[in-house]
Structure 1
């Protein structure tokens, strides 16, 4: 068990932190929601009713979609884009998809290579792009969930103020949806750019996201 925890500590720790923070968000959101209920002369709602509501759903989904957009863009664009001196970049002489030999595809696969890397054809093509495809699909699914929960939450507010509800199409073309969406996108894109650039000059000893402490600033694609 100790070995399993040590060898899987990144996934386990971040998974646990995710659950803790999600529960914390739920309770904080419930408090804010019930304050608004009381201000409108309405009764408080219970915890489980809140976490299954559109209000909570849209808050969660809008963060998930922006995170997976960040991962999707970073995974796909760094196939071609480079950043001199950054450990987040490939080496400057390796832009693009690289050769089959470099990627251990088909006849260049070794005995430990996944089966779909060896067999060729459509399966190898899918496997060769599977990380970006899955991240992109999760992003699209989260974005759709945000729009569905968002229009439900928006219409609840509209009805409480005796205004007409809107359709899903009207909502996704409206300011509320894009305000929620773009404020998350800009923060994620800034975070990626900051990480790629600051890691050129700054170090974190022992981290896989940093160059070794003594590496030159111009060293590219080198991780500690």
Structure 2
């Protein structure tokens, strides 16, 4: 009974992450299956053979489609982490209160150190300096890595199309200079920033009871954070 309780408690404590990862795996699998179907149709139209979902995973089309989207998501998160550290939106649940001190602004060097204090805070120095910005660094690295993989996959897909139409292939660096690469990026970037702006604004006026992304239902519109 105790073991079952601990298991259910662990699932409750990590349910949000587990469900999000489950949805991610399911939608990625659906993307692979449907992407393989689209690629197969194109192959047949050009006199080729259809490809399996497994073979599709090794194609430039898959890399381009996947990392093109990841790139914009991680850019969104990195930008959000950075901008919310310095900018305010009065009344938004997504903003710090511009009129009061926030716990997230406290200098960890003045914090009371206990056994539960993260090791970088106890260590101090450059380790702490990096840890202070580790969330931004994490998403920035993922953004740059995804952008590089998007460029590699996109160059492969671009070159395949160029060769089919008698054009010249380009290098990965050359692909970065094409309007195709930046069109693929910008069509995703603009939607990410629109979505963030929408929740920043909507959380001023609208509510979702029980969600940490919302203010309390009875809170005035001017309440921030």
TM-score of Structure 1 vs Structure 2, range by shorter chain: over 0.9
Q: Could you tell me how far 1:162 is from its partner in structure 2? A: 2.3
Look up the match of 1:106: 109
Runs of 4 or more consecutive aligned structure 1 residues displaced over 2 Å after TM superposition: 93-99
* 1:149 aligns with one of 144, 153, 177: 153
Q: Could you tell me how far 1:95 is from its partner in structure 2? A: 7.8
- 1:155-200 Cα offsets, whole Å, 9 max, x none, are 0111122221112222111111011000000000000000000010
User: Residues 95 and 57 (structure 1 numbering): CA distance in 2 closer, same or farther, change over 3 Å?
Assistant: farther
* 1:88 aligns with one of 88, 94, 101: 94
TM-score where L is the length of structure 2: 0.92
Runs (5+) with no aligned partner, structure 2: 1-6
- 1:132-152 Cα offsets, whole Å, 9 max, x none, are 001100000000000011001
> Is 1:217 matched with 2:221?
yes
Look up the match of 2:18: 12
d(CA) in 1 for partners of 2:156, 2:149: 11
Look up the match of 2:35: 29
Contact 1:66 1:184 in 2 (8 A): yes
The count of aligned residue pairs is 217
User: Residues 181 and 95 (structure 1 numbering): CA distance in 2 closer, same or farther, change over 3 Å?
Assistant: farther
Look up the match of 1:162: 166
d(CA) in 1 for partners of 2:179, 2:101: 39
> Is 1:116 matched with 2:102?
no
Q: Could you tell me how far 1:98 is from its partner in structure 2? A: 2.9
> Is 1:47 matched with 2:77?
no
TM-score where L is the length of structure 1: 0.93
- 1:95-122 Cα offsets, whole Å, 9 max, x none, are 898341xxxx124234122121133211
Runs (5+) with no aligned partner, structure 1: none
Look up the match of 2:3: none
